[in-house]
Amino acid sequence: MNEFEIKYRSTELPFVTLKLAQTLDGNIATCTGDSKWITSKTSRVRGHQLRAEADAILVGRGTVMTDDPELSVRYVDGCSPTKIVLDSQLKIGLNAKIFGGAPLIIATTEEMCRKRIKDRKKKGAQVWQLPIRNGQIDLKAVLQKAALSGLRHILIEGGSRVAASALRLSLVDRIAAFVAPKILGAGIPSIGSLNITSITDAIALENVKVESIGNDFLFTARVKNRPKTSEQPCLPAL
Ligand SMILES: NC(=O)c1ccc[n+]([C@@H]2O[C@H](COP(=O)([O-])OP(=O)(O)OC[C@H]3O[C@@H](n4cnc5c(N)ncnc54)[C@H](OP(=O)(O)O)[C@@H]3O)[C@@H](O)[C@H]2O)c1
């Protein structure tokens, strides 16, 4: 049994890899949303390898509307996985590139109007109507449904807000962060707000591996449980 299956059997959730392609100062795009291309072609080839290893790629509406990605495997051999897009209002246009290629699942809310759903089904998409949690589609419910449908390894490719939701709900097992030797200053952070105010509450990573890929670095790590309190008193630096 592989680790994806083990995760599913013990939690009924898929194994989740969060992939980021960021600058040294932690941005995945400029303040205008431009993200093409932060990392090198070699890193992007490796990113496609990660896609080919996954059962599904998951992204948010913001990424689709800004980048109009195909979300396919092109630079390596392998099948393009299923695509899952979070779009609570079904705002993504019917001409978006995600409507071509591998199967597409659009996760939306239970209240969404039938006409919009019908239009997307006509374009070949499956539409999942799911509950809302804190004003957004319940990402845990999306992942539970995905796992139940046989999608046991999900690659989350962003953007910033989806990455934050996944981490906030402790849904991420592994991080694969491609870091390019570039600086953008105030751009779009690779991970949106997690409301962490104390370093002791930072999400801890373990089994860290760093690999050099041309001028970029690929940083892979497992997510440890979040510590809630520190055992040690915090002393001010002298
Ligand atoms: N370099 C990289 O690795 C990389 C990768 C991907 C994206 N990007 C960049 O990131 C930017 C987009 O990021 P973003 O943060 O604006 O958008 P995003 O994370 O792609 O999408 C966020 C949107 O998804 C919808 N959503 C529904 N349920 C959600 C949930 N549970 N959690 C979070 N979002 C949910 C919401 O829109 P509704 O309320 O309308 O449903 C939300 O505003 C673009 O500039 C893109 O180029 C960079």
* Domain ranges for the chain: 3-85+151-223
Q: How many Cα atoms are found within 13 Å in the side-chain-facing hemisphere of 70?
A: 9
User: What does pLDDT average to in each consecutive run of 10 residues of the chain (238 residues)?
Assistant: 91 97 98 95 97 98 97 97 98 97 97 95 98 95 98 97 96 98 97 93 96 97 66 38
Token readout for 100 is 């071509």
Contact 186, 90 (CB under 8 A): no
Tell me how far the alpha carbon of residue 87 lies from the centroid of ligand 1, in angstroms.
9
**Mean pLDDT score of the chain, rounded to an integer?**
93
- The third-level CATH classification (topology) of the domain covering 3-85+151-223 is Dihydrofolate Reductase, subunit A (3.40.430)
What angle do the packed helices 139-148 and 160-168 form, to 10 degrees?
A: 80
User: Residues lining ligand 1, judged by CB closer than 6 Å?
Assistant: 20-21, 28-29, 33, 35, 38, 59-63, 66-67, 86-89, 91, 136-137, 139, 157-162, 165, 188, 192
Tell me how far the alpha carbon of residue 2 lies from the centroid of ligand 1, in angstroms.
30
Quick check: pTM over 0.75? yes
Within 10 angstroms of residue 202's Cβ, the number of other Cβ atoms is: 11
Rounded to 5 degrees, what are φ and ψ at 47?
A: -60, -40
CA distances to 60, 83, 183 from 21, in Å: 16, 19, 13
Tell me how far the alpha carbon of residue 237 lies from the centroid of ligand 1, in angstroms.
38
pLDDT tens profile 171-222: 999 999 999 999 999 999 999 999 999 999 999 999 999 999 999 999 999 9
- Exposed, middle or buried: residue 182 (CB in 10 Å: 0-12, 13-18, 19+)? middle
